[in-house]
Amino acid sequence: MYLFDGVEGSQPLQPLYKELNTKYFGNSLPNIKVMWDGRLKKAIGRARVKYTNLIGKKPEINMTSLKITMSKSFDLSYEDTSAVMLHEMAHIQLFIGGILDRHHGTSAFDGLIKRLRKESGLNVPFKESSFKTSPKAAAKEGYLAILDTSGGVGVCVYSTPFIKKNWRELTNFLASFIPSGKVRQVELWKVKHPIIKNSTGKRSLRKISWSIKTTEEVESIKKSGFKWGEFGPEIKIADSKRAGL
C-alpha cells in the first residue's frame, strides 16, 4: 500500500481519484466511493457496480453502487497506486457507458488502457496480476541492478539463470551506461526479497529498463542481500565468486 504522508492508509483515496479524473477523464466520471479495504487480499483494487437486468429491457445501473476499493495488503509505490486506480477507473467508465459484461481482453477496455498508459506515462495494467508485489509474498532470491539515475534511484531485476549465462557481458553492458549521463552509478546486488519475480526472465542485453524507487524502498531491499559489483566514474568492481557464479 502507498504510504500517504508516511502513515499507512491514513489518508483518503478520494483526492487521488479526483486528480486522475481531472487529468485523464475530463471529469466525466461521477463522484463515487473510493476507499481502502483491509479485507481485500486477492486483488490490489476492485471496481464494483450493481444493476437491474430485466428481460427485454436495457440494464440499468445503480449509480450510488459504483465504488472503487484498494487493498491494504500490497506494498505499492505512488506510481503503481495511481496505475491501479486508473485501471479501476477504466472499469467505471465502461460501467457508466452500459458495458456490464467482461471487460478484460476486450477492444474497448484494452484501448482505454493503452490511452491511459500513453497519456499518464504509468504502467497501467491490463490485468493487475502483471505486477503484484505483496509484503506477505514469499521472498525469492535473485539479482538486481540499483542505478543512480538523473531521475532518481532505479531498480532493474534479473533472473538467476540470466545472470549466470550473461555474467561477463552484463557487467560490461551496465558499465557502458555510465558515460551516457542518465546513469551515474550502478550497483549489482544479490538479494532475497519479494521484488524478485518470475517475469525477470524477459530481460535482455539489448537495452536496460528500470522502475524508479524511493530511497527507503531501496535501502529495505539492500538489507536482504549483499553488493557484488559496482560501476561508476573510474570504478569497476565485480566479485563473481562472492555472487556464487
Residue 47 CB neighbours (<10 A):
21
By the 8 A CB rule, do 71 and 34 touch? Answer: no
User: What CA–CA distances, in Å, run from 217 to 74, 79, 116, 154?
Assistant: 14, 13, 26, 11
Which of the residue ranges 2-11, 44-53, 221-230 would you say has the lowest mean pLDDT? 2-11
- 21 band by pLDDT with thresholds 50, 70 and 90: very high
Q: What's the pTM?
A: 0.54
Residue 132 contacts by C-beta under 8 Å, 6 or more apart in sequence?
Answer: 44, 74
**For the chain, which residues make up each domain, given as ranges?**
3-130, 140-238
Residue 115 contacts by C-beta under 8 Å, 6 or more apart in sequence?
Answer: none
Residue 204 contacts by C-beta under 8 Å, 6 or more apart in sequence?
Answer: none
**pLDDT on residue 55:** 65
Return the percentage of the chain with pLDDT > 70, whole number.
Answer: 80
By the 8 A CB rule, do 78 and 108 touch? Answer: no
| Residue 208 confidence (pLDDT) above 90 | no
What is the mean pLDDT of the segment spanning 48-72? 80
Which of the residue ranges 132-136, 181-185, 220-224 would you say has the lowest mean pLDDT? 132-136
Please name the residue ranges forming H helices in 97-137.
107-120
Q: Which of 116, 201, 107 is nearest to 163 (CA)?
A: 201
